[in-house]
Each structure stands twice: as C-alpha cells, then as structure tokens.
Amino acid sequence: MNSQVRSEIKLSVIMPVYNEKATLNEIISRVERLPIEKEIILVDDGSTDGSREILSEFPSERAKVILQDKNLGKGAAIRAALPSVTGDVVVIQDADLEYDPNDFFKLLKPIEDGKADIVYGSRFTGERRNMHFWHWVGNRFLTLVTNIMFDTTLSDMETCYKMFRSEIVKPIPLRSYRFEFEVEITAKVLKRGHRIYEVPISYAGREFHEGKKITWRDGITALWNLFRYRFFD
C-alpha cells in the first residue's frame, strides 16, 4: 500500500470507452496494478473497433462492465456508471494512455489530509508532452472564462483527472452527453459552494491520427454550456 493513502479509502475508477482497442488492456492493467483498494467501472459507449467485444468478455471479478447500445458520449458514459459507484472517492480515467494512473496518489493526498473534497489534476503545472498550440489556447480560454464566471483560479478546467468524494458527486443531477461533462460538473460543484484543489500531473497528449476525439466544435459547446450553467441552470 502506498504510504500516502490510508488503507480504508476505496477508490472507484470510472473508465468511459469508445473505440480504444489499441490501449484498452494496457490502461486497465495500469489501474489494476495500483496498490489501493479500488473498483473499476468500464462503460463501453457503442464501440465499433472491437473494444466492446473485449469488455463483453471481461471477468466480473476484475471490473464492473456496462455496455451502452450506441455511442452517446463521454458524459453519458459517466452518468451511466455513477449509480454503480460504491467507493469513498471517485475518479475519471480515459481509456487511452494520455493520463498516468500513478497520479491518482497525488490527487488522493489532499482528500486524505482533509484539505479537499474535490481535486483536479492540472496538465499545465506538471511535466507533459506539449499539446498543439490551438488546443492549448482553447483549454486556457475555457479555463479563464470559468474562473471569471465562477470566481475561482483553476489552471485546467478541462482535465480528465477529476476526483470527488462520492457523497458530493453522486447526488448532483447531470445531463451532459459528450465532453461538455467537464463544464457541467465543474460549474455545478462551484455553484454549490465547493472549492476545487489542484495538483500537478503528467500528461502525454496524443494526436488526432492516434485517436484523439475532442475537436474545436466541443470547445464551442463547452463555452455555451459555461454560460448556460452559470446563468440558467
């Protein structure tokens, strides 16, 4: 057991999966090797590349598996998984290799120490493979708008690595289907008076030809939803 993490903490890892056959087994193995009590909840979001077949035969003792009939998006996959969460703390893990599950211990430390109930892993304060300039601009712009609208000082609102105490995130009504989940959950926890703690994480961003799925259209949707959740929802 990692000395930074108390043995009584149980971690629920939600992993949305959409066409990630090339990395799926490796990322699951990396999570499984972590020396902490945990459950893994795998949600196939209508994959067509063979990922679904891998998960449909996945041993139940290794993970809970949810198979969605069609591709609905990352937010929908997370929403499908949340009712199955039994851990004290829940974290989101993409099914590619951009994020390193060993960083879970960095996110858990402030929760363990009683400093935070919500922790985000920032890609902009730790070591990283540099992303494309316009991707960087989009991330920074959306984070800036979030900070202005919700009176906070985040450095990376769009990060995948979001960790919550389960009793905080499970009761929040969520409606997002795609990548706007990042905006919705951030807006709703901030509007409920929670402060978000950030820690640096490593990041190995992939290219579009390697399977990256988020595009500029998702950025426009995120911006609209920032206004929506700030003023109307």
Tally of CB atoms within 10 A around 177: 17
Half-sphere exposure of 114 (CA within 13 A, CB side): 0
What's the pLDDT tens digit per position in 69-100? 999 999 999 999 999 999 999 999 999 999 99
Q: What is the dihedral of CA 46, 10, 102, 143, to 10 degrees?
A: 70
The mean per-residue pLDDT over the stretch 22-33 comes to 97
Length of the chain: 233
CATH class of segment(s) 11-231: alpha beta
Residue type, 88: D
DSSP lists the bridge partners of residue 121 as: 199
* Residue with the larger pLDDT of the pair 231 and 160: 160
With contact defined as beta carbons under 8 Å apart, do 217 and 22 qualify?
no
Looking at residue 132, its pLDDT comes to 62
How confident is the prediction for the chain on average, in pLDDT? Answer: 89
Stated pTM of the model? 0.88
pLDDT digits (tens, 9 = 90+) for 1-22: 444 555 579 999 999 999 999 9
Q: Please state, in angstroms and rounded to a whole number, the distance separating the CA atoms of residues 192 and 14.
A: 23
Q: Can you give the pLDDT at residue 112?
A: 95
DSSP-assigned letters across all residues of 43-87: EEES--SSHHHHHHT--TTT-EEEEESS---HHHHHHHHGGG--S
Question: By percentage, how much of the chain surpasses pLDDT 90?
Answer: 74
Helices 216-231 and 133-150 sit at what angle, rounded to 10 degrees?
A: 0
Closest CA to 134 of 145, 126, 146, 142: 142
